Amino acid sequence: MNADQLAFNVVTFERPKQAQRCVNSILDLWPQAKIYQADNSREPRRLNGVHQFWHIGHDVGVSAARNHLIRHTREPFLVQIDDDYIFTPEADVLRLAALLDENENLALAGCKCRHIRGNGRTGWTKYYARVRLDGHKLIADRPGEKYRRETQGLPWYEVDVVSNFWVAKRRLFDNMMWDERLKIGGEHADFFQRLQAANGDEAMMARILERRRSGQDAPLVPIQDPGRLGVAFVPSMWITHRKERPGQYARFRKRDKTYEQMYRGMWGISRVDRWRKRKR
């Protein structure tokens, strides 16, 4: 697997310093990487080292920016990147792409996220889960050992959702895109739930069709492709995330709860039950 088979898709918004640091970290590891930038900042700025740049309008949202990058790249694998990530050798995107290439049923693979806060403290996000709908409740559970797999010495888990950093086969987007109504917040869960529907989850598809029959706007209904759009979580890898929210960015970021509520309304979800919030 070579880096030229991957499109490194970076959405940038009001954080040019952090975004340039992200691009530099990619090029340090893969000097020939093709990095594509979609900027929706008020004052667009092309980053040094990017292969292609688009200013797609101010504050169109992360979903619209991601869709633009998907439509305007051609590589067989896509790497989704937030502009405050830092790449180290532990984020082995070539190995993630190879894992997908070696497994016909997998379309997307992600890993852990190592956070570095302003005070230098480090924390981890190990968000990977099996997800199901139970009426108006969304339930997320950690996968057990029966979901553990191994490919050429690399352990991974079959899951329904991973964090924001991942590698995907281009075929994933043949019939699926991001819902551009969700600018920041809720877009992640919405995308993975529609992916579950496309991969054969009957409850998720039934909820989508219910919305359509009731006259609600239900765009981007996926064509089912059961068993070929699986998601993998690789516990031995991680991306570094330096949490920084400069003033202009922070003002827009505060809207995420509004869009989270929009997402829940779209799916008829009144409660989310996650493993990490349950009493032990």
- Per the listing, tokens 């090029």 go with 27
Q: What pLDDT, on the 0 to 100 scale, is given for residue 276?
A: 63
Q: Examine the pLDDT at 97 and tell me if it is beyond 80.
A: yes
pTM of the model: 0.92
Are the beta carbons of 157 and 235 closer than 8 angstroms?
A: yes
Return phi, psi of residue 156, to 5°: -155, 165
SS3 category, 51: coil
Q: What pLDDT, on the 0 to 100 scale, is given for residue 279?
A: 46
- Helix, strand and coil content of the chain, in percent to the nearest 5, comes to 30, 30, 40
* Angle, CA 253 vertex, CA 63 and CA 90 arms, to 5°: 70
Taking each helix axis as running N to C, give the angle between helix 202-213 and helix 187-198, from 0 to 180 degrees, rounded to the nearest 10: 110
Q: Which two tokens stand for residue 279?
A: 């009493």
Ramachandran sector of residue 116 (left: φ over 0; alpha: ψ -120 to 50; beta: rest): beta
Summarize pLDDT for 56-74 with one digit per residue, the tens. 999 999 999 999 999 999 9
For the chain, percent of residues with pLDDT exceeding 70:
95
Q: Examine the pLDDT at 280 and tell me if it is beyond 50.
A: no
